[in-house]
Protein backbone atom coordinates (compact mmCIF):
# COMPACT_ATOMS: atom_id res chain seq x y z
CA UNK A 1 0.00 0.00 0.00
CA UNK A 2 1.52 3.29 -1.15
CA UNK A 3 0.50 6.82 -0.22
CA UNK A 4 0.77 7.83 -3.87
CA UNK A 5 -2.02 5.34 -4.69
CA UNK A 6 -4.54 7.29 -2.57
CA UNK A 7 -5.44 4.63 0.00
CA UNK A 8 -9.01 4.79 1.29
CA UNK A 9 -11.19 3.52 4.09
CA UNK A 10 -14.99 3.49 4.26
CA UNK A 11 -17.45 2.77 7.06
CA UNK A 12 -21.24 2.50 6.79
CA UNK A 13 -24.17 2.17 9.16
CA UNK A 14 -27.91 1.89 8.56
CA UNK A 15 -29.94 4.59 10.31
CA UNK A 16 -33.67 4.60 10.97
CA UNK A 17 -34.04 8.15 9.64
CA UNK A 18 -34.58 9.82 6.28
CA UNK A 19 -31.60 11.41 4.45
CA UNK A 20 -33.04 14.91 5.02
CA UNK A 21 -33.05 14.27 8.79
CA UNK A 22 -29.37 13.28 8.68
CA UNK A 23 -28.24 16.23 6.55
CA UNK A 24 -27.99 18.75 9.44
CA UNK A 25 -25.96 16.22 11.44
CA UNK A 26 -23.41 15.41 8.73
CA UNK A 27 -22.91 19.09 7.86
CA UNK A 28 -22.38 20.07 11.50
CA UNK A 29 -18.58 20.14 11.33
CA UNK A 30 -18.30 20.33 15.13
CA UNK A 31 -20.41 17.22 15.77
CA UNK A 32 -17.75 14.56 14.98
CA UNK A 33 -15.55 15.98 17.77
CA UNK A 34 -18.08 14.53 20.24
CA UNK A 35 -17.23 11.02 19.07
CA UNK A 36 -13.74 11.07 17.52
CA UNK A 37 -10.58 10.49 19.51
CA UNK A 38 -8.63 12.78 17.17
CA UNK A 39 -10.83 15.67 16.07
CA UNK A 40 -11.03 18.23 18.86
CA UNK A 41 -13.29 20.72 17.10
CA UNK A 42 -13.95 22.75 13.97
CA UNK A 43 -15.17 26.25 13.09
CA UNK A 44 -16.51 27.67 9.85
CA UNK A 45 -14.33 30.48 8.50
CA UNK A 46 -17.37 32.13 6.90
CA UNK A 47 -20.54 30.73 8.51
CA UNK A 48 -22.76 32.58 6.03
CA UNK A 49 -21.75 30.27 3.14
CA UNK A 50 -21.55 27.04 5.15
CA UNK A 51 -22.09 24.21 4.33
CA UNK A 52 -22.12 25.14 0.65
CA UNK A 53 -19.62 24.37 -2.06
CA UNK A 54 -16.39 26.30 -1.46
CA UNK A 55 -17.10 26.98 2.23
CA UNK A 56 -14.00 26.65 4.40
CA UNK A 57 -13.44 25.59 7.98
CA UNK A 58 -10.55 25.12 10.38
CA UNK A 59 -10.29 21.79 12.18
CA UNK A 60 -8.31 21.20 15.38
CA UNK A 61 -6.85 17.74 15.85
CA UNK A 62 -4.66 15.85 18.27
CA UNK A 63 -2.74 12.60 18.10
CA UNK A 64 -0.57 11.03 20.81
CA UNK A 65 2.45 10.71 18.46
CA UNK A 66 2.12 14.04 16.65
CA UNK A 67 0.59 16.43 19.16
CA UNK A 68 -1.96 19.07 18.19
CA UNK A 69 -2.42 20.76 14.82
CA UNK A 70 -4.92 22.68 12.74
CA UNK A 71 -5.93 22.28 9.10
CA UNK A 72 -8.05 24.34 6.76
CA UNK A 73 -10.56 22.39 4.70
CA UNK A 74 -12.71 23.36 1.73
CA UNK A 75 -16.13 21.90 0.95
CA UNK A 76 -15.83 20.21 -2.47
CA UNK A 77 -19.29 18.60 -2.65
CA UNK A 78 -22.51 19.70 -0.96
CA UNK A 79 -25.68 18.07 -2.27
CA UNK A 80 -28.38 18.28 0.44
CA UNK A 81 -29.74 14.89 1.42
CA UNK A 82 -27.04 13.10 -0.56
CA UNK A 83 -23.33 13.99 -0.14
CA UNK A 84 -21.09 16.31 1.88
CA UNK A 85 -17.34 16.24 1.17
CA UNK A 86 -14.29 18.35 1.98
CA UNK A 87 -10.63 18.51 0.98
CA UNK A 88 -7.97 19.10 3.63
CA UNK A 89 -5.40 21.81 2.87
CA UNK A 90 -5.14 22.50 -0.87
CA UNK A 91 -8.38 21.48 -2.62
CA UNK A 92 -6.46 20.76 -5.85
CA UNK A 93 -3.93 18.43 -4.16
CA UNK A 94 -5.44 17.67 -0.74
CA UNK A 95 -3.71 15.97 2.14
CA UNK A 96 -6.96 13.99 2.41
CA UNK A 97 -10.51 14.08 1.11
CA UNK A 98 -13.37 13.21 3.43
CA UNK A 99 -16.98 12.42 2.50
CA UNK A 100 -20.33 11.62 4.10
CA UNK A 101 -22.82 9.96 1.79
CA UNK A 102 -26.53 9.37 2.38
CA UNK A 103 -28.28 6.60 0.45
CA UNK A 104 -31.94 5.66 0.96
CA UNK A 105 -32.14 2.12 2.32
CA UNK A 106 -35.52 0.58 3.02
CA UNK A 107 -37.27 2.63 5.70
CA UNK A 108 -34.11 4.56 6.52
CA UNK A 109 -30.72 5.61 5.22
CA UNK A 110 -27.33 4.06 4.74
CA UNK A 111 -24.86 6.58 6.16
CA UNK A 112 -21.32 6.18 4.83
CA UNK A 113 -18.15 8.02 5.78
CA UNK A 114 -15.15 7.72 3.47
CA UNK A 115 -11.61 9.13 3.39
CA UNK A 116 -8.86 9.06 0.78
CA UNK A 117 -5.31 9.94 1.79
CA UNK A 118 -3.32 12.25 -0.48
CA UNK A 119 -2.27 13.06 -3.09
CA UNK A 120 -0.84 16.16 -1.36
CA UNK A 121 1.59 15.98 1.54
CA UNK A 122 0.19 15.29 5.00
CA UNK A 123 1.36 14.47 8.49
CA UNK A 124 2.28 11.01 7.19
CA UNK A 125 4.76 12.44 4.70
CA UNK A 126 7.69 12.94 7.16
CA UNK A 127 7.20 9.45 8.65
CA UNK A 128 7.13 7.81 5.22
CA UNK A 129 10.16 9.80 4.05
CA UNK A 130 12.16 8.84 7.15
CA UNK A 131 11.14 5.16 6.99
CA UNK A 132 10.29 4.33 3.36
CA UNK A 133 10.63 0.60 4.03
CA UNK A 134 7.72 0.89 6.53
CA UNK A 135 5.32 2.83 4.26
CA UNK A 136 2.79 -0.03 4.10
CA UNK A 137 2.72 -0.32 7.91
CA UNK A 138 2.46 3.45 8.42
CA UNK A 139 -0.48 3.72 6.04
CA UNK A 140 -2.23 0.61 7.39
CA UNK A 141 -1.97 1.96 10.94
CA UNK A 142 -3.32 5.37 9.90
CA UNK A 143 -6.24 3.83 8.02
CA UNK A 144 -7.05 1.68 11.08
CA UNK A 145 -7.09 4.84 13.25
CA UNK A 146 -9.41 6.54 10.78
CA UNK A 147 -11.68 3.47 10.67
CA UNK A 148 -11.96 3.48 14.48
CA UNK A 149 -12.82 7.20 14.65
CA UNK A 150 -15.20 6.99 11.70
CA UNK A 151 -17.04 4.05 13.26
CA UNK A 152 -17.45 5.99 16.52
CA UNK A 153 -18.65 9.05 14.62
CA UNK A 154 -21.23 7.13 12.57
CA UNK A 155 -22.53 5.30 15.62
CA UNK A 156 -22.84 8.65 17.42
CA UNK A 157 -24.72 10.23 14.52
CA UNK A 158 -26.98 7.17 14.30
CA UNK A 159 -27.82 7.41 18.02
CA UNK A 160 -28.62 11.13 17.74
CA UNK A 161 -30.76 10.68 14.63
CA UNK A 162 -32.71 7.74 16.01
CA UNK A 163 -33.29 9.49 19.35
CA UNK A 164 -35.03 12.26 17.40
How far are the Cα atoms of 16, 19, 29, 64, 153 from residue 39, in angstroms, in the given order? Answer: 26, 24, 10, 12, 10
Chain-centroid distance of CA 144 in Å reads: 14
The predicted pLDDT at position 67 comes to 87
pTM (two decimals): 0.95
139, 124 Cβ separation under 8 angstroms: yes
Burial class (CB in 10 A: 0-12, 13-18, 19+), 60: middle
**pLDDT for residue 118:** 96
Nearest CA-CA partner of 98 in 1, 37, 5, 8 = 8
pLDDT by residue for the chain (164 residues), tens digit each? 899 999 999 999 999 999 999 999 999 999 999 999 999 999 999 889 889 999 999 999 999 888 899 999 999 999 999 999 999 999 999 999 999 999 999 999 999 999 999 999 998 898 999 999 999 999 999 999 999 999 999 999 999 999 97
Amino acid sequence: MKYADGPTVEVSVDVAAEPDALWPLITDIELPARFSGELMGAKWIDPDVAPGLGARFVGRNQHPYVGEWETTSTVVASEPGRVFSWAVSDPDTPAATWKFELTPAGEGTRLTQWVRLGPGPSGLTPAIESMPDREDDIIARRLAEHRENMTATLEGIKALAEAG
